[in-house]
Structure 1
């Protein structure tokens, strides 16, 4: 499937799948465990990139949908993607951990509620 053929529901599903993978990778993990596990860090960061890229694609390719759901932090999702994608070895893993603990559960609920059928 070409990128131009992707619909809002496809991008929403990308976001939900990435969040589910992050939860699976970090289930039962503590902050200390996360900071000690480079494989999990890399997997989480990659999936945050997917979340942010899908959010950006919704904003760019489906602006009326993004505007209709302005309570979703589309821009913040993309900015987080940029921070982790371009931070290389200077990514603040404490911020990443806080994001996945504090923000992702609520984001998952918000995104699930607006998913087109």
Structure 2
């Protein structure tokens, strides 16, 4: 794994970790606190950007990632936000992002090791 890909995977890990933290606040917090709902929406936009940085070749090697759905959600949040379905946003935050994080945990661990190893090299 090259350093650039490793770095982008670490960014993706940070985004998915933040989404998990928002999910732990619960649906009630999402519904009651506009800051929580906006943070969830922002992190889904950030998730798309993180995946885009990894590039089309990386995405092609991960056909299990529902790239078109993720990108479509990002477009809806960014451009057609009046039609956002909070149930869908919450399902992504609570379940789908967690599933993606688990699916990539080995690759993320390798990325962290790669970057840590490079820091050790004089």
**Interval of TM-score (by shorter of Structure 1 and Structure 2):** 0.7 to 0.9
Higher relative contact order (CA 8 A, sep 6+): 2
TM-score by length of 1: 0.77
Unaligned runs of 5+ in 2: 115-122
Residue number in structure 1 paired with 2:95: 102
Q: May I ask how many residue pairs the two structures share in their alignment?
A: 108
Matched, 1:82 2:75: yes
For residues 72 and 90 of structure 1, the distance between their equivalents in structure 2, rounded to whole angstroms, comes to 24
Residue number in structure 2 paired with 1:35: 31
Residue number in structure 1 paired with 2:84: 91
Q: 1:102 Cα shift?
A: 2.0
Residue number in structure 1 paired with 2:120: none
How well do the aligned residues superpose, as a CA RMSD in angstroms? 2.0
For residues 55 and 38 of structure 1, the distance between their equivalents in structure 2, rounded to whole angstroms, comes to 26
For residues 66 and 26 of structure 1, the distance between their equivalents in structure 2, rounded to whole angstroms, comes to 25
Determine which structure has the larger helix proportion and give its number: 2
Runs of at least 4 residues off by over 4 Å: none
Of 41, 47, 67, the residue aligned with 2:60 is: 67
Matched, 1:23 2:16: no
Matched, 1:12 2:9: yes
Residue number in structure 2 paired with 1:3: none
Q: 1:79 Cα shift?
A: 2.0
TM-score by length of 2: 0.74
Render the CA deviation track for 1:19-44: whole Å, top value 9, x for unaligned: 21122233142x23311110001111
Larger radius of gyration: 2
